[in-house]
Amino acid sequence: MASTPPRDGDGPIVAALRRAHRASLELELLKGSERHLGIEAIADAIEENIAAILEANTKDLEASREMAVPKLILEWLKLTPERLDKTIDFLRRLPKLPDPLQRIKNATYQISGYQTYSQRMPLGVICLIHEALPELGAIAAGLSLKTANSLVIRGCGEASHTNHLFANIMQTALADQGLPQGCVEALSSEEGCTIQELVGQDQYLNLIIPYGRPKMIQQVVQHATAPVLRTTVGNCYLYLSPSGEFDLASRVIQDSHNYEPDAVNAIEKVLVSPEQKTSHLIGLFKVLKEQGFELRGGPDLVAEFPEHLVPAAPTEWQQAYLAKVVAFKRVPDLAAAITEINCNSGGHADCIITESYQESRQFAAGIDSALVYVNASPCFSRHPQGSDSVFLGVSNQKGNRRGLIGLESFTTIKQVVQGDSTP
């Protein structure tokens, strides 16, 4: 395929976006099997370069430690052979999944004398802006190729060596398969690519996905002129009802923190019914502390259990800890718990532990979040076992891309009106 030459005066951002736009038009015309070859080539190339990727990642980690980068970012940044294996497995799973672009369904309206149906189609150019988590670019590249979109990646400076190597590996693998130049473009702050300038390029970008801490996501939302699909991490709530078993609550809380490195649906706040037995609460506190959790609480619970809880500041109930920290608060009843969650949680995954069917239905109906879990762990997985779905993350925003961010999130709908050509 012929490359798109830069125009005079094009900076690195516009030049990359123009290549990506041209590639998106070509990708839409390719067969799914051709795009699948690109995904498989990326997976093979990553596997062949694991040692080099880990070496580049070590350089980033050493530089980040010298710059006193926060511990959370270091955890997100540090790659392991296991994390890379999961990424490779994710990519190899994609070609085996049904092609979302082949899904057709009847339209919500019909025109007399015609057949009207809806079909999924690519968005065009998708931009991923992420903090640390170097493998996230490869995961997004796989999702983009599966849905015939091109991808522009803008990583953080802390992962510059790793991000650069990942980009080179993917671009070389795609070129070897004859896929159009611009399928995957990578930009960085070292090239002068600021987030503010990038997200204002709505003439090229069709969707922007920011992935990281709330401050970075808010920066993207404030300056973007193209649509933004917000991701959300942490600050999930759990309500422990009067009939809820504390041992089940303990298992659910611990399991929600198990996904590494980014525990997307980690339960960080627990609302407790006043009817819960004191012995049960103490048992819950002890188990969590034994598992390395730091426990905080509202004023009344801290006063009652000073040996287990430290005070939580009023602002903490609306903030994600993004660490093994859980804060407890007592609420008078289920209605109060629902109000508290709707006002303060991250709005993407909230839970109830109860043996009451009526309570579970009231909770599911009243919670204004993307995902609701009843006596179940919200633990997030990008490729859950036993499912034919894969996910990049979770979004709390309302609209047609709310909830789990999967292949359909990378597509849109077109409606086709089919007439009868018979004279």
Condensed to tens digits (0 to 9), the pLDDT of residues 306-343 reads 999 999 999 999 999 999 999 999 999 999 999 999 99
How many Cβ atoms sit within 10 Å of the Cβ of residue 121?
15
The 10 Å CB-count burial string (b at 16+, else e) for 163-185 is: bbbbbebbbebbeebebbbbbbb
By three-state DSSP, how is residue 154 classified? strand
- Output 103 or 24, whichever has higher pLDDT: 24
Q: Which pLDDT score, from 0 to 100, does residue 423 have?
A: 56
Where residue 21 falls (left for φ over 0; alpha for ψ -120 to 50; beta otherwise) is alpha
Distance of CA 395 to the CA centre of its chain: 7
Q: Which pLDDT score, from 0 to 100, does residue 422 have?
A: 61
Q: Which pLDDT score, from 0 to 100, does residue 107 have?
A: 82
pLDDT digits over 33-89, tens only?
999 999 999 999 999 999 999 999 999 999 999 999 999 999 999 999 999 999 999
Query: DSSP character for 228?
Result: B
- Minimum mean pLDDT range among 155-159, 278-282, 298-302: 155-159
Say if CB 331 and CB 337 are below 8 A apart: yes
Say if CB 332 and CB 303 are below 8 A apart: no
Mutual angle of helices 160-176 and 32-48, in 10-degree steps: 130
pLDDT level of residue 401 (50, 70, 90 thresholds) = confident
**Mean pLDDT of the region 101-130:** 89
Going by CATH, does the domain composed of 12-231+398-418 fall within 3.40.605.10?
yes
- Integer Cα distance of 49 and 64 in angstroms: 23
Report the 3 state secondary structure along 292-322: CCEEEECHHHHHHCCCCCEECCHHHHHCCCC
Written as six digits, the tokens of 12 are 């690195």
Say if residue 205's pLDDT is above 50.
Answer: yes
Say if residue 3's pLDDT is above 70.
Answer: no
- Output 42 or 6, whichever has higher pLDDT: 42
pLDDT level of residue 11 (50, 70, 90 thresholds) = confident
pLDDT digits over 156-169, tens only?
889 999 999 999 99
By three-state DSSP, how is residue 376 classified? coil
By three-state DSSP, how is residue 148 classified? coil
Average pLDDT of every residue of the chain: 93
Q: Which pLDDT score, from 0 to 100, does residue 7 have?
A: 56
Say if residue 4's pLDDT is above 60.
Answer: no
How many Cβ atoms sit within 10 Å of the Cβ of residue 283?
14
- Minimum mean pLDDT range among 205-209, 383-387, 410-414: 383-387
Q: Where in the chain is the domain with CATH 3.40.605.10?
A: 12-231+398-418
pTM above 0.85, yes or no: yes
Using the Cα atoms of residue 223, residue 224, residue 225 and residue 228 in order, give the sign of their dihedral.
Answer: negative
Q: Backbone phi, then psi, for 372, in 5-degree steps?
A: -125, 130
Q: Where in the chain is the domain with CATH 3.40.309.10?
A: 236-382
Q: Which pLDDT score, from 0 to 100, does residue 384 have?
A: 85
pLDDT level of residue 273 (50, 70, 90 thresholds) = very high
Which residues touch 166 (CB under 8 Å, ≥6 apart)? 46, 53, 134, 135, 137, 138, 186
- Integer Cα distance of 361 and 324 in angstroms: 30
Q: Which pLDDT score, from 0 to 100, does residue 2 have?
A: 39
In 107-149, which ranges are E strands?
A: 115-122, 125-130
- Integer Cα distance of 286 and 376 in angstroms: 21
Q: Which pLDDT score, from 0 to 100, does residue 10 have?
A: 73
**Mean pLDDT of the region 134-151:** 98
Cβ-in-10-Å burial (0-12, 13-18, 19+) of 99 comes to: middle
Q: β-strand 371-374 against 104-106: which pairing, if any?
A: unpaired
Q: Which pLDDT score, from 0 to 100, does residue 342 have?
A: 98
Q: Which pLDDT score, from 0 to 100, does residue 294 have?
A: 98
Contacts 24+ apart (CB under 8 A), 40-43: 40/91, 40/92, 40/95, 41/173, 41/174, 41/176, 41/177, 42/91, 42/138, 42/141, 42/142, 42/145, 42/169, 42/170, 42/173, 42/174, 43/88, 43/91, 43/92, 43/142
**Mean pLDDT of the region 270-282:** 95
Q: Which pLDDT score, from 0 to 100, does residue 358 have?
A: 97
Quick one: fold of 236-382? Answer: Aldehyde Dehydrogenase; Chain A, domain 2 (3.40.309)
Say if residue 417's pLDDT is above 70.
Answer: yes
pLDDT digits over 230-252, tens only?
999 999 999 999 999 999 999 99
